[in-house]
Amino acid sequence: MKRLAIPTDPIAGQKPGTSGLRKQTKVFMGPHYLENFVQSIWNGIGGAGGKTFVLGGDGRYFNDRAAQVILRMAAASGATRVIVGQNALLSTPAASNLIRQRGTDGGIILSASHNPGGPDEDFGVKFNMPNGGPAPKDVTNRIYAATQSLRGYDLLEAQDVDLSVVGETVLDQMAVEVVDPVSDYADLMETLFDFDAIRAYLASGATIAFDAMHAVTGPYATEILGRRLGAPVSSILNAVPLPDFGGGHPDPNPIWAKPLVDLVMGPDAPDFAAASDGDGDRNMILGKGLYVTPSDSLAVLAANAHLAPGYAGGLAGVARSMPTSRALDRVAEARGLDVYETPTGWKFFGNLLDAGRITLCGEESAGTGSDHVREKDGLWAVLLWLNILAVKKQSVAEILQEHWREFGRNYYSRHDYEAVDAARASKMMDGLAARLPTLAGQGFAGLTVARADEFAYDDPVDGSHAAHQGLRVDFEGGARIVFRLSGTGTVGATLRVYLEAYEDDPSRLNADADTALAAMIDAAEAIAGIRDHTGRDAPDVRT
Ligand code: VG1
Ligand code: CO
């Protein structure tokens, strides 16, 4: 085995976004592209020498090849050990758990999350810190700076490591430890939730459906929901991970998980249904005949988490990303909990979790989690819901109704305009940012602006500052519109418009969300001129 020092030049555009570096697969497969980025990770974290890393991914196309390259690069750079999920699989939360549990120096997760996979779709590489969470901005900035000054990378010339068998091998001087990707994670779940109660709930005839969307959660759901909790095999749908996710978008929302939504709206609806995304960190929650918005789900979980053993002592505090609805704030206020508002992206929760200021947090994009790992966690949310259902012995619909009666309802919807011309999208956002100070007091579609600003965040733990985190327009009466550009899209720009209206009149808690938000949609258009700027008549995706 020979260590090679391969000369390269910097590659433009290797700037990590909201969730690592996400690009089209064929870009990652291009000459030196993956290698340059991985070497830049090593350089950005002060070298790989003597370190132990976790490695795994969501099983998408190129996952297996990329894992072999990374192993050879880690060995060439003098890493001591890499802990790899069998067949290079690890869900994002399971990777976060292993990074923490094994006291490692961090890990590399191969995933483009909910983006589709395949040679003509997307791939991604993300570095997580020793606390198990996504790298914060100072680290991704160092990694990015390294990509711009890179002159070469180190690679071991070697055969592929057999990752199909659990056990330990050696690659040059480096230990490669292949582990079962599921068991440690499943054990952790057993410490948090009342598996006996959930087992009894399922045995009493409650029916569930979990859609793994041919992504990484298939094996996790099969072990946890099936083997450990006794759910029938037939209740786990699309359980086999496929490199192209069966041709679908592994994005658990009513658009991309439509078959599951159709199931719960139909005559054979199970009592509870859920789906997760490509890398297993997101969740969609459904009940008989209904879809629970992620923001509502977060609020319900916060209000009821104490019913699960892992949270029986109560919550230290809670947090949500800025565009997430303020349903959570209502719960926090009623329960006397601190609530933090952070920029989009899980990395901003890390410090709050590490400092013990919060126990539970979430995002409107279907991410919910707690201090058990440092990533959002799809199956965790499913298990917490099941634990709550098992204890309360109510339906999902009853739980929601009760929640809205107690706290009021935040009607909510997100409109995405995808692959918009990037220059035009920036122009729209810059123009709107400049006009924000003039909006207060103005009326749009019958709504009066109370205040408008550009969101910036000062981390209360380490004092770091994040600017330009989205434009907020608050209206009299508790409604709000947020405008933001995505940091995870891979083609052009994605404009996200987040709409929210608060209602506490008991006779108006059960409107259709689009109807309840109709004025907001008009106001968003009137304020931002979305049609003119994007050339689009309507959003591509509404969730
Ligand atoms: C999106 C979501 C954000 C989430 C991020 C990563 O980012 O809006 O809430 O944290 O994806 O999720 P953006 O910048 O495109 O809006 V995933 O499932 O990659 O881990
Ligand atoms: Co994800």
What pLDDT does residue 101 have? 97
**Among all residues, which ones are annotated catalytic?**
113
For residues 279-308, average pLDDT? 97
Nearby residues of 333 by Cβ (< 8 Å), 6 or more positions away: 339
- pLDDT beyond 80 at 22: yes
* Confidence at 491, pLDDT banded by 50, 70, 90: confident
Q: What span, in angstroms and rounded, lies between the C-alpha atoms of 510 and 451?
A: 28
Provide the Cα torsion 393, 397, 401, 404; round to 10°: 110
What pLDDT does residue 381 have? 98
Nearby residues of 259 by Cβ (< 8 Å), 6 or more positions away: 211, 237
Q: What span, in angstroms and rounded, lies between the C-alpha atoms of 224 and 236?
A: 11
Inter-residue contact 365 to 320 (CB < 8 Å): no
What pLDDT does residue 438 have? 95
Which DSSP letter does residue 197 get?
Answer: H
Q: What is the pLDDT of residues 314-368, one digit of tens each?
A: 999 999 999 999 999 999 999 999 999 999 999 999 999 999 999 999 999 999 9
What pLDDT does residue 114 have? 92
Among protein residues, the one whose CA lies closest to atom 11 of ligand 1: 488
- pLDDT beyond 80 at 292: yes
Residue 32, both tokens? 């030196």
How much distance in Å is there from the Cα of 453 to the middle of ligand 1?
22
Q: What is the pLDDT of residues 58-112, one digit of tens each?
A: 999 999 999 999 999 999 999 999 999 999 999 999 999 999 999 999 999 999 9
What pLDDT does residue 255 have? 87
What pLDDT does residue 364 have? 97
* Confidence at 18, pLDDT banded by 50, 70, 90: confident
> Which of 488, 496, 540 to mutate for ligand 1's pocket (most ligand atoms within 8 Å of CB)?
488
Q: What is the pLDDT of residues 135-161, one digit of tens each?
A: 998 999 999 999 999 999 999 999 999
Supply the mean pLDDT for the chain.
96
What pLDDT does residue 480 have? 97
How much distance in Å is there from the Cα of 473 to the middle of ligand 1?
21
What pLDDT does residue 487 have? 83
Which DSSP letter does residue 160 get?
Answer: P
Q: What span, in angstroms and rounded, lies between the C-alpha atoms of 531 and 543?
A: 19
* Confidence at 1, pLDDT banded by 50, 70, 90: confident
Inter-residue contact 310 to 380 (CB < 8 Å): no
For residues 246-265, average pLDDT? 93
Dihedral sign (CA 499, 504, 505, 506): positive
- pLDDT beyond 80 at 489: no
Answer yes or no: is the C-beta of 18 below 6 A from any ligand 1 atom: yes
What pLDDT does residue 471 have? 97
Q: What span, in angstroms and rounded, lies between the C-alpha atoms of 94 and 279?
A: 10
Lookup result for tokens 């590489």? 125
Conformation bin of residue 242: beta by default, left when phi > 0, alpha when psi is -120 to 50: beta
CA distances 505 to 264, 406, 409, Å, are 28, 11, 9
Nearby residues of 368 by Cβ (< 8 Å), 6 or more positions away: 283, 294, 297, 298, 301, 360, 361, 362, 376, 377, 380, 381
Inter-residue contact 12 to 159 (CB < 8 Å): no
Lookup result for tokens 């918005």? 293
Identity of the residue numbered 185: Y
Residues pairing with 495 in the sheet: 417, 485
What pLDDT does residue 11 have? 93
CA distances 347 to 106, 120, 317, Å, are 14, 29, 17
Q: What is the pLDDT of residues 195-245, one digit of tens each?
A: 999 999 999 999 999 999 999 999 999 999 999 999 999 999 999 999 999
Diameter of the chain by CA atoms? 73
Which atom belonging to ligand 1 lies closest to the Cα atom of 92? 20
> What is the pTM (predicted TM-score) of this model?
0.95
Structural domains in the chain?
2-180 (3.40.120.10), 184-407 (3.40.120.10), 409-542 (3.30.310.50)
- pLDDT beyond 90 at 267: yes
Q: Which of 25, 30, 4 is nearest to 12 (CA)?
A: 30
Answer yes or no: is the C-beta of 277 below 6 A from any ligand 1 atom: yes
